[in-house]
Amino acid sequence: MKIRPDMFLADLPPPNTRRWVVRRKAAVVAAVLIGKMTIEEVCRTYQLSEEEFLSWQRAFTTHGLAGLRVTRTQQYRRSRGARIRPRPL
């Protein structure tokens, strides 16, 4: 998804969204990145925790749309965790 400065709030998923596919997550992240909504507004509107939203934002800015896939998120967390935790002897 390309972030467009002309993005309107109508491009966002409905507030009662429960199934978060990649495009919906990206639209919400883009709305914050271009200043159409604040993080607080997004979290309140979509009933998200700030931590969850920030994880989407981090994944999107680091890995693009692919980073928002649930399976990719799990892989990125595992690979990051593998670097942090020492291997047992």
We report the CATH number of the domain holding residue 34 as: 1.10.10.10
Asked whether residue 28 is domain-assigned, the answer is: yes
Asked whether residue 32 is domain-assigned, the answer is: yes
Q: Given a cut of 80, is residue 16 above it in pLDDT?
A: yes
Structure token digits, residue 32: 């914050």
Asked whether residue 13 is domain-assigned, the answer is: no
Please report, for residues 46, 47, 62, the alpha-carbon distance to residue 16 in angstroms, rounded to integers and kept in the order given: 7, 9, 27
Determine the structural domain holding residue 66 and report its residue range: 20-83
Asked whether residue 2 is domain-assigned, the answer is: no
Q: Structurally, how many domains does the chain consist of?
A: 1
Q: What pLDDT score does 23 carry?
A: 92
Indicate whether this model's pTM tops 0.95: no
Asked whether residue 7 is domain-assigned, the answer is: no
Mean pLDDT along residues 17-29: 94
Asked whether residue 76 is domain-assigned, the answer is: yes
